[in-house]
Amino acid sequence: MKTLNLGILAHVDAGKTSLTERLLHAAGVIDEVGSVDDGSTQTDSLSLERQRGITIKSAVVSFVIDGDVTVNLIDTPGHPDFIAEVERVLSVLDGAVLVISAVEGVQAQTRVLMRTLQRLRIPTLLFVNKIDRRGAHDGRVLRMIGEKLTPAAVPMGSVRELGTGDAGFTAHGRADEAFTARLAELLAENDDALLAAYVEDEASITYDRLRDELGKQSRRGLLHPVFFGSAITGAGVESLTAGVRELLPSADHAEEKPDEPVSGTVFKVERAAGGQKIAYVRMFSGTARVRDRLPFGDGGRDGDADAGSHADAGDREGAREGKITGISVFELGSAVQRESVVAGQIGKLRGLDGIRIGDAIGATPKGSVEVHHFAPPTLETVVTPVRAADKGALHVALTQLAEQDPLIDLRQDELRAEIHVSLYGEVQKEVIQSTLADEFGLDVTFRESTTICIERLNAPGEAAEIMNKEPNPFLATVGLRIEPAPPGSGVEYGLDVELGSMPYAFMRAVEETVRATLHQGIHGWQIPDCRVTMTHSGYAPRQSHAHAVFDKSMSSTGADFRQLTPLVVMAALKQAGTTVHEPLHHFRLEIPAETYGAVLPVLSHLRAVPRTSATHGEAYVLEGEIPAARIHGLEQQLPTLTSGEGVLECAFARYQPVSGAIPGRPRTDHDPLNRKEYLLRVVRRVTGA
């Protein structure tokens, strides 16, 4: 039996979950197709998903094609507020189906998803859904695909009776000369031998050779077959299913080398009714069995000694271990209890209590250094319990939610007794509020969302604190050089001192504290990209009294390095200087042509900069950039300005330096920028005074 781990992705409301239902029905897994509107679908199992009619959490179901290919189908959210769920799924996919509405065409989230799939070289089929809907287009959508997604798209058939309940899809065959000619041209662009044969004698290239090459290039992500259909009526779904089998890569379990060391990735964590953690794991090699003790760790997150290496789990920082008490494997539409899960499969593992999303099970999968494919959240808010007595319970509940969605970036401000969470949008805030009420019995309120900025270095900076030399009160020497790094490169940490110049535990303490301190720069915002080099190191060796009792006052401890390092980091940052950057979003605004004159001044007032404009029938389409902080204001005014006919799509584009007053963020630490106050608080806490 072969296995294909398939992702279904789309802009919200393109029909992604309905397509999942239709595929399960066609495979005989379910007797009736569920309805998103009725809340009866297989994958939208959360009560909140059923109430809202949207996918919030990724879900896995399984079906078999032609008796020899097991498809683990992962339904992902389409709403941009839940892009983090899509992020986690990407690392476990063998292939994807990107769903596009035949009515709305290519939308903002469609472009974001396609760019990411192409960058990761994930083989992708395109399915143009809703051909039975009034206003559906085939030619226009194909043009949009070619212009906005990829020129390497080939329609696999034609649509009949478009926009009616009888709409259908007819697959192209060897008799379709236009199809074979288009196919030959596209395939020849990636195959020199085929190109030579095509130039020499086009007629010599057989249809069977073209189909064979189509499969090869599609499985490599070089070409993107396009299917048309309707998830509601089932039109075109049979052809899509055949395309999934023929044009996407599936692997035989034997070929996945199940006897090799266990290696897998956790892409989802949920809790059972009793509170036990359940980890969804994509297995890349080996076989995991019930009662096996397995190491698991961070798999390459920030904090690794060498983020470019792929160490075994036992060598990873933060590596933990647990005993598997139960395994379920996805088969025939449900998760079935099994004694083992093998390479290529997706399993639900129980018993690994400390497990987190992104962890590597066993050996770290090759190439698994954590990379974020989408922009981080650009909003944050403070969550406050309605009842003051619920503060402790709220922290526990939000900690559990952060296990399932690490990008909410739970921040505890102990100085102000506040809890901050990061957000992609206001819908996510509503979902968190409903989840806390329904699952934890907690009523909460939120402060108004604010924009999350970042800080970038203006120049290199350097600082050092030498042990036994004023004004350093700690038994530690730390010197650091901090330099700008390209956007998206992350925090790189290196040494200009000998690794053996002091105990490894102290080296680790410095690096971990550097990374933690950089979450709050000079203005309180995170510094996401820089190179940090340790330039000075020193410590006081372990000393004892005459009775051989360890003398803390004469010997360096990890606390010395953890307390001193923030002072060195901030001194280096002050020398370097930082600039606060705010997030910009790309917007696409479709408005009635007669409202253009009223909308343009509002865009200007909100600091939106239109880059292109075009007429689209009786509508006017504007595209450009707008500060993330101003999007909500535009959303509020748009219905009045356009009599409810304006359509706004936004997606993160880039960061730009803030103009005008520099926004600051309240610090949640002991503020190493204020040396006197910092030392009073830290030294008092360390000594217990």
Most confident range (mean pLDDT) of 31-40, 63-72, 462-471, 664-673 is 462-471
How far apart CA 349 and CA 288 sit, in angstroms, is 9
Residue of 626, 642, 648 lying closest to 109 (CA atoms): 648
How far apart CA 249 and CA 123 sit, in angstroms, is 8
Identify whether 24 is part of a domain: yes
Please give the tally of structural domains in the chain. Answer: 5
Burial per residue of 147-181, b for 16 or more beta-carbon CB atoms within 10 angstroms, e otherwise? eebbebbbbbbbbeebbeeebbbebbeeebeebbe
Q: Which residues contact 567 (CB under 8 A, 6 or more apart)?
A: 465, 672, 675, 678
Is the same domain home to 512 and 596? no
Identify whether 169 is part of a domain: yes
Q: Which residues contact 314 (CB under 8 A, 6 or more apart)?
A: 295
The strand pairing partners of 589, in sequence order, are: 622, 648
Residue of 151, 252, 665 lying closest to 455 (CA atoms): 665
User: Is pLDDT above 90 for 574?
Assistant: yes
Residue of 11, 206, 175, 30 lying closest to 103 (CA atoms): 11
The beta-strand segments (E) located in 552-646 are 578-592, 609-616, 619-627
Is the same domain home to 408 and 495? no
pLDDT at 85: 64
User: Is pLDDT above 60 for 370?
Assistant: no
DSSP 145: I
DSSP-based three-state secondary structure for 201 = coil
Is the same domain home to 286 and 227? no
CATH number of the domain where residue 588 is located:
3.30.70.240
User: Is pLDDT above 80 for 55?
Assistant: no
Is the same domain home to 430 and 471? no
Higher pLDDT: 261 or 357? It is 261
pLDDT at 374: 56
Identify whether 347 is part of a domain: yes
pLDDT at 154: 94
Is the same domain home to 395 and 513? no
Count CB-CB contacts under 10 A for residue 204. Answer: 9
Burial of 634 (0-12, 13-18, 19+ CB in 10 A): buried
CATH number of the domain where residue 501 is located:
3.30.230.10
Most confident range (mean pLDDT) of 267-281, 466-480, 626-640 is 466-480
Alpha carbon 556 to chain centroid distance? 41
| Residue 328 in tokens | 């379920």
Is the same domain home to 463 and 407? no
Is the same domain home to 64 and 100? yes
Identify whether 339 is part of a domain: yes
Higher pLDDT: 570 or 272? It is 570
pLDDT at 444: 92
Identify whether 374 is part of a domain: no
Whether the Cβ atoms of residue 6 and residue 73 lie closer than 8 Å to each other: yes
Burial of 572 (0-12, 13-18, 19+ CB in 10 A): buried
Helix pair 108-119, 83-90: axis angle to 10 deg: 20
Q: How far is CA 588 from CA 15, 108, 317, 651, in A?
A: 21, 8, 44, 9
Identify whether 546 is part of a domain: yes
Q: Give the tens place of pLDDT for each residue, 577-596.
A: 999 999 998 888 889 989 99
**Residue tagged 């080939």 (tokens):** 154
Q: Give the tens place of pLDDT for each residue, 212-266.
A: 999 999 999 999 999 999 999 999 999 999 999 999 988 765 455 667 889 888 8
| Residue 605 in tokens | 């007032």
| Residue 642 in tokens | 């356009």
Most confident range (mean pLDDT) of 113-117, 138-142, 182-186, 445-449 is 138-142
Lowest mean pLDDT among 191-195, 385-389, 547-551, 618-622: 547-551
Q: Which of 327, 362, 397 is the last residue of a domain?
A: 362
Q: How far is CA 367 from CA 310, 315, 355, 363, 494, in A?
A: 7, 16, 20, 12, 21
pLDDT at 357: 80
Is the same domain home to 321 and 337? yes
User: Is pLDDT above 70 for 309?
Assistant: no
pLDDT at 276: 85
The domain of 384 spans 379-450
Q: What average pLDDT does range 639-661 have in this prediction?
A: 86
CATH number of the domain where residue 338 is located:
2.40.30.10
CATH number of the domain where residue 413 is located:
3.30.70.870
User: Is pLDDT above 70 for 332?
Assistant: no
Burial per residue of 511-524, b for 16 or more beta-carbon CB atoms within 10 angstroms, e otherwise? bbbbbbbbbbbbbb
Q: Which of 309, 335, 362 is the last residue of a domain?
A: 362
The pair phi, psi for residue 115, each rounded to 5°, is -60, -40
How far apart CA 102 and CA 167 sit, in angstroms, is 12
pLDDT at 526: 94
pLDDT at 375: 65
Identify whether 321 is part of a domain: yes
Identify whether 207 is part of a domain: no
Is the same domain home to 571 and 644? no
Is the same domain home to 430 and 526? no
| Residue 327 in tokens | 């395994």
**235 Ramachandran zone, left/alpha/beta (phi>0; psi -120 to 50):** beta
Percentage of the chain exceeding pLDDT 90: 42
pLDDT at 390: 92
Q: What average pLDDT does range 116-128 have in this prediction?
A: 90
User: Is pLDDT above 90 for 52?
Assistant: no
Q: What average pLDDT does range 291-315 have in this prediction?
A: 52
User: Is pLDDT above 80 for 350?
Assistant: yes
pLDDT at 402: 80
The strand pairing partners of 128, in sequence order, are: 100, 228
DSSP per residue, 361-384? EESPPTT------SPPP-EEEEEE
Q: What average pLDDT does range 452-478 have in this prediction?
A: 95
CATH number of the domain where residue 62 is located:
3.40.50.300
Q: Which of 406, 425, 450 is the last residue of a domain?
A: 450
Is the same domain home to 285 and 234? no
Burial of 303 (0-12, 13-18, 19+ CB in 10 A): middle
Whether the Cβ atoms of residue 271 and residue 279 lie closer than 8 Å to each other: no
Most confident range (mean pLDDT) of 53-57, 58-62, 286-290, 632-636 is 286-290
How far apart CA 112 and CA 652 sit, in angstroms, is 9
Is the same domain home to 519 and 383? no
